[in-house]
């Protein structure tokens, strides 16, 4: 019985440590929402500087797989690590899902919505479940996404 308990405790402990390592590798929903809230403050304070920081991942606006991205009134990315200047509004998933249009539709000034879609993790090609918290700040639609 003691051996069974010891083996069980080791299995439980190793499961916790594996979960802790996995949780640390990627951003969480709470961290994504906090980053978006920080991005809102930055855009309100100085839109041009904030968008520049978002695109470059500076000022604490890049954490593992978390980063803010924004689209302007023209539908193009005004800030993104690799897509700035390209169409955000026309962004489609590999499953032909209108991600950009959903983000623009859900974005409302003063509130944060959550939009689900399928998208590959950075460095991979296979789409997995991703959610983006999105809001509108003046003429900008800004979001931070996290993976489930």
Q: Would you give per-residue pLDDT tens digits along the chain (148 residues)?
A: 444 344 333 333 334 333 443 458 999 999 999 999 999 999 999 999 999 999 999 999 999 999 999 999 999 999 999 999 999 999 998 889 999 999 999 999 999 999 999 999 988 999 999 999 999 999 999 999 999 9
- Which CATH number does the domain housing residue 137 bear? 3.30.450.20
At 34, list the tokens: 């906090």
Q: What is the pLDDT of residues 4-25, one digit of tens each?
A: 344 333 333 334 333 443 458 9
User: What mean pLDDT value characterizes the chain?
Assistant: 88
Question: How many domains are contained in the chain?
Answer: 1
The answer to whether position 8 is within a domain reads no
**Residue 22 belongs to a domain:** no
Coil, helix or strand at residue 86: coil
Report how far residue 4's alpha carbon sits from residue 51's, in angstroms, rounded to the nearest whole number. Answer: 56
CA distance readout (Å), 78 to 31, 57, 68, 103:
22, 14, 11, 14
pTM of the model: 0.83
Query: So what's the pLDDT on residue 27?
Result: 97
Find out whether 131 and 37 touch, Cβ atoms under 8 Å: no
In a domain, 15, yes or no: no
Does residue 103 fall inside a structural domain? yes
- Domain assignment of residue 48, yes or no: yes
Number of other residues whose CB lies within 10 A of the CB of residue 35: 22
Containing domain of residue 118, as a range?
A: 27-147
What pLDDT was estimated at residue 59? 96
The strand pair at 127-137 and 140-147 is best described as antiparallel
Alpha helices, DSSP H, located in the chain = 2-25, 29-45, 47-56, 99-106
Select from 39, 31, 54, 27 the least CA-distant residue to 147: 27
pLDDT for 3: 45
């Amino acid at each position: 019985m003691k051996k069974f308990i010891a083996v069980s405790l080791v299995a439980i402990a190793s499961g916790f440590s594996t979960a802790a390592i996995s949780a640390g590798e990627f951003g969480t929903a709470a961290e994504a929402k906090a980053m978006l809230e920080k991005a809102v403050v930055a855009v309100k304070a100085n839109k041009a500087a904030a968008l520049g920081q978002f695109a470059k991942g500076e000022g604490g606006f890049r954490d593992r797989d978390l980063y803010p991205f924004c689209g302007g009134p023209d539908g193009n990315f005004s800030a993104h690590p690799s897509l700035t200047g390209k169409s955000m509004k026309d962004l489609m998933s590999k499953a032909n899902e209108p991600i950009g249009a959903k983000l623009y539709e859900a974005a409302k000034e003063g509130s944060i919505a959550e939009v689900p879609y399928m998208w590959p993790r950075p460095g991979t090609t296979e789409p997995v479940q991703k959610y983006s918290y999105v809001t509108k700040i003046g003429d900008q639609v800004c979001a931070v996404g996290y993976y489930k």
